[in-house]
Amino acid sequence: MTIQHKTQRREFIQTAMAGCVLLSVPLSTTFASASNTKPSSNQPSNNGNKKVVWIMLRGAMDSLHAVIPSFDKNYFAYRTSSINSIKDELLPLDDGYALHPAFKHLHQLYRKKQYSAVIAVATNYRERSHFEAQDHMESGLDEIDHENGWLARAIQHYQGQSLAISRTIPIALRSIKGDTANTWYPSSFKPADEDLMDRLAGLYEKDDELSGLLQQAVEQRDNPNMMSEGKNRPKFTLLANRCGEILSNDPNIKCAMLELGGWDTHNNQAGRLQRQFSLLDDGIKSLQEGLGKTWDDTLVLVTTEFGRTVALNGTSGTDHGTASCMFMLGGNMKQGGEVLGKWPGLAVDDLFEKRDLMPTSDVRTWIAKGLQTHWGLSRQQSSAIFPDLELS
C-alpha cells in the first residue's frame, strides 16, 4: 500500500470516528500537539499554571432572585409573590444577603471562602438588546469589536492557549492578532451500531494505528458519562466536567469559556429559575470535579449580559433590565466568603430609569481585579485587556 493511500485511510477513519461516538476525539489526546509545546519562559514563575474559566449566562439572569437582599424592605414589596414559597429556605450570606436555595453547592463554597457574589454590576451598555449586550460583554469594549475579545486579549498577556466549549469560536476568544482558540464540543452524529463497529474491526485488524483509533472510539461510546439530553444535546454538567478535565490534563490550556442559555424569564420566572439555578449549581460542581486538584489553581467567573426589572410583570416574570450580579469562585479565592460591591437600594428614586437595579460598578473592573490577583497581571496589562476602563 502506498503512503498516500494509507494516509487517506487514516484520514477516513479519523473522520469516521466522529460519527461513531458522542465525543469527537479522546480527551487525553485532544490537545496533544499543544501539550508538546514548552511553556513560555516569560510566564510569571509562580503563576504559570493557573487557570481561568468564564461562564457566560445568555439571556440575562435575574440577580434579585439569585442573591436576595433580605434586609431591604422594598424588595419584598416588589417580589412577595415570587419569594414566598422559598423565603424559609434561603441560604444565608453575610450582611443580610441570602442565596436562592437551589445554590446548595455554591453555598458550601461560600462557607469555605471559595465563592463570592458581586452585586449591582453591569457593562457600559444601557439598552436592552440581548445580542448587543452579549457582544459588549464578550468584547469587553465600549465600542463592540466582533474580532477582538477580552479573554483573547487576556490570554495573550498570560501567554497560554485558550479553549471554547463550543462548536465555533465565540467573540470573547477572537483575536485581532490572528491567534486561534481551541474548540471542543460533543459530536451530534448518531452513534454507530455494533455491526458497523465489527466490520471496521475486521477491516483494520492488521493496522495497529487504525485499530487503536477504533478501540478508543468504542471505549468512548460505551462510557456511561457520555450522556446527552434531547436530540443529542449535551448536558451542561457534562460540558463543564469535560472542560475541567481538559484544563486539568493540559498544562498549556490556561483559560476556557463555557456558555449556558435559558435565562430570559419573561414569564413563570420562579419555577424556571429554580431549574436554571440547579443546572448552574450542578454544572459548577461538575466543573470542580473535572478540575480535581487543579481547582485550587482555578478562578471561575460567572456573568450575564444585563439584569432584569425589579418589579414582576403581568405573567409572573421580569423584563430586560440593567444591573445584575456576577459570581467569583475558586479553590484559592483572595476575597472568598463575601458579598462584594455596593448596594444601590430599591426605592423608586434609587432605580435606573425608575425600573431597574442601578449599576454601582462595572463588571469588567471586577474581572480585571480577579485576573490581576489570580494571574499576577500588572495594572498596565489589565488596562490593555480593558482599555476603556480606568483601573487602579
- Which of 390, 384, 328, 379 is closest to 156 using CA atoms? 384
The pLDDT of residue 68 = 98
Q: How far apart are CA 216 and CA 266, in angstroms?
A: 45
In this predicted structure, what is the pLDDT of residue 217?
Answer: 62
Q: Are residues 147 and 273 in the same domain?
A: yes
Domain assignment present for 242: yes
Average pLDDT over residues 262-278: 97
Phi, psi of 270 (to 5 degrees): -55, -50
Task: Answer for the pair 326, 313: CB distance below 8 angstroms, yes or no.
Answer: no
* Same domain as 241, residue 218: no
pLDDT digits (tens, 9 = 90+) for 111-140: 999 999 999 999 999 999 999 999 999 999
Residue 235 lies in a domain: yes
C-alpha dist (Å) from residue 364 to 122, 125, 370, 371: 8, 12, 10, 10
For every residue of 90-112, DSSP letters joined together read -EE-GGGEEE-TT-HHHHHHHHT
Average pLDDT estimate for 35-43:
34
Question: Are 180 and 199 in a shared domain?
Answer: no
Cell matching residue 43:
510566564
CA dist., res. 195 & res. 200, Å (int):
9
Q: Same domain for 269 and 219?
A: no
Higher pLDDT: 37 or 289? It is: 289
Q: Are residues 367 and 341 in the same domain?
A: yes
Q: Judge contact between 339 and 97, C-beta under 8 A.
A: yes
Task: Report pLDDT digits (tens) over 50-101.
Answer: 999 999 999 999 999 999 999 999 999 999 999 999 999 999 999 999 999 9
Q: Is the pLDDT of residue 298 over 80?
A: yes
Give me the residues paired with residue 309 across strands: 356
**Res 231 pLDDT > 60:** no
User: Is residue 321's pLDDT more than 50?
Assistant: yes
Q: Give me 146's grid cell.
A: 466582533
Closest CA to 117 of 266, 296, 333, 313: 333
- Give me the chain's average pLDDT, please: 85
The pLDDT value given to residue 206 = 73
* pLDDT recorded at residue 107: 98
Which domain, by its residues, includes 195? Answer: 1-23+190-225
For the chain, the distance separating the N- and C-terminal CA atoms, rounded to the nearest angstrom, is: 65
* Cα angle 246-103-275, degrees, rounded to a multiple of 5: 90
Say yes or no: 146 and 293 in one domain.
yes
Looking at the fold, whether 347 and 260 belong to one and the same domain comes out as: yes
Question: Residue 294 pLDDT more than 50?
Answer: yes
Report the pLDDT value the prediction gives residue 44, as an integer from 0 to 100. 38
30 occurs within a structural domain: no
Residues contacting 109, CB < 8 A, separation 6+: 115, 329, 336
pLDDT at 313: 97
Residue 296 lies in a domain: yes
Q: Is the pLDDT at 34 greater than 50, yes or no?
A: no
Do 370 and 244 share a structural domain?
Answer: yes
Q: Is residue 390 part of a domain?
A: no
For residue 282, give the 3-state DSSP assignment.
helix
Q: Alpha-carbon distance 63 to 324, whole Å? A: 5
Average the pLDDT over 337-362 and give the result: 98
- Domain presence at residue 194: yes
User: Residue for cell digits 449599576?
Assistant: 359
Instruction: Tell me what percent of the residues of the chain surpass a pLDDT of 70.
Output: 78
Give 295's Cβ-side CA count (13 Å radius).
18
| Nine cell digits for residue 179 | 491567534
What is the number of residues in the chain?
Answer: 392
| Residues 201 and 233 both lie in one domain | no
Instruction: Say if 5 falls within a structural domain.
Output: yes
pLDDT value of residue 196: 67
Under a CB-based contact definition with an 8 Å cutoff, are residues 216 and 26 in contact?
A: yes
pLDDT at 26 over 50: no
pLDDT in tens, 152-190: 999 999 989 999 999 999 999 999 888 889 999 987 655
Predicted local distance difference test score (pLDDT) of residue 40: 33
Q: What is the pTM of this model?
A: 0.81
262 plus 365 within the same structural domain: yes
In this structure, the answer to whether residues 155 and 298 fall within a common structural domain is yes
CATH number for the domain spanning 98: value is 3.40.720
Q: Rounded to whole angstroms, how far apart are CA atoms 214 and 170?
A: 31
Q: Are residues 96 and 242 in the same domain?
A: yes
Task: Compute the average pLDDT of residues 225-235.
Answer: 53
* Domain tally, the chain: 2
Q: Which of 239, 166, 183, 188 is nearest to 22 (CA)?
A: 188
Beta 97-99 vs 67-69: how paired, if at all? antiparallel
32 in a structural domain = no
Q: Round to whole Å and give the CA distance between 67 and 339.
A: 9
Cell of 242: 469535560
Q: What pLDDT score does 207 carry?
A: 76
User: Exposure string (b/e) for 314-328, b if CB count within 10 Å is 16 or more?
Assistant: eebbbbbbbbbbbbb
